[in-house]
Amino acid sequence: MRLASFLPILVLVSGAALGCAPSSAHDTSSSSTGTGANAASASSSSGFATGSSSSGAGGAACQPPDVVIALDRTLTMHFQPDGTEPTDAPSYATSKWSQAISAIKTLVNPQIDQTIRFGLELWPKEEPGCITLTERVQNTMQATNPFCEDGEVLIPPALGSSAGIASKLDPLTTKICISTPTGAGLLTASSELAQIKVAGRDQYILLVTDGADWNQSCPTPDPIAVTQQLAAAGVKTFVLGFSAAGDLMPGGVGAPFLNDMACAGKTAPNFATACKMNASGGYVAVDNMGPTLYLQANDGAALSAALHKVAASVCCDCIQ
């Protein structure tokens, strides 16, 4: 897990389907520094900074980017978005776990998967001791998997990967696990992207998380430091917090952490004024208790809408 080897980007993707239009090149601003005028020009109409779409000016052919969807499978994802226990057995469709899976499967369909090379990572990786959503909600089994494991890439980024990704995601059978190794999850996705890097093709990681308790269970590697170093290598990070809020659980991280992550990844709106460089040379929020800088969703519909905007900003020759 050496940071010097990372050359990918972080993104968040999900939501309504996009169509493919081979004759239309979708062009977004390219910015590796994210400061000053560059930061302002990199902000999209959806309110966050975007990376290069690879489509190029003047109608040059684009390359569908690599996007690893890095989905948080930690135990707190069993809650409803308001932090309460779901009661809609047997499907528990109101849980964050079920809603996140539904949003991802809605986005990654046979149309959009020809404009983005989607891959799927779940973090932490499944080990003996991970449990099902039903076991967690009904408290019939306690998770005993090892703490702070790396993530696992179940589907490498590729065109036409929607069926493969859908096959790996079932809210009732795909297990959730104890501990929140956010930093390790980012490193796993980055390592996968480094192995398939092609010159001229953008790479992203979709980080979908509720933001809870990483600093209590798995403080190292520090996800903010990981994201800062990825950004310094030209890797942008889009961060989606699904009902992440500091008051959802005692000592939870939530919004302040994710605000810092958005700045670390150089995707925060109004980057030049909302973010500042820290002593290590990376970026954090000027006021991480202030306005929301990450992509935030309080329910499944908002989750889909936020992810749709990101997908539209990075896809190759797609109809928005």
Rounded CA separation 3/263 (Å): 18
Residue 14's pLDDT band (boundaries 50, 70, 90)?
Answer: very low
For residue range 190-244, what is the model confidence (pLDDT) as tens digits?
Answer: 899 888 988 888 888 889 999 888 888 999 999 999 999 888 877 788 899 998 6
DSSP calls for 239-304: EEEES--TTSSTT---HHHHHHHHHHTT--TTHHHHEEE-TTS-EEES-TTSS--SEEESSHHHHH
Neighbours of 161 (CB within 10 A): 20
Q: What is the mean pLDDT of the chain?
A: 81
Q: Is domain 3-319 given the CATH code 3.40.50.410 in the classification?
A: yes
pLDDT in tens, 40-52: 333 333 344 444 4
Placement of tokens 């989606």 in the chain: 240
Domain boundaries, the chain: 3-319
For 319, phi then psi, to 5°, come to: -95, 125
pLDDT bin (cut points 50, 70, 90) of residue 245 is: low
The pLDDT of residue 253 is: 65
| pLDDT at position 150 | 97
Q: Give the residue from 312, 303, 310, 301 showing the smallest Cα distance to 20.
A: 312
Of 91-95, 102-106, 230-234, the range with the lowest mean pLDDT is 230-234
pLDDT of the residue at 2: 40
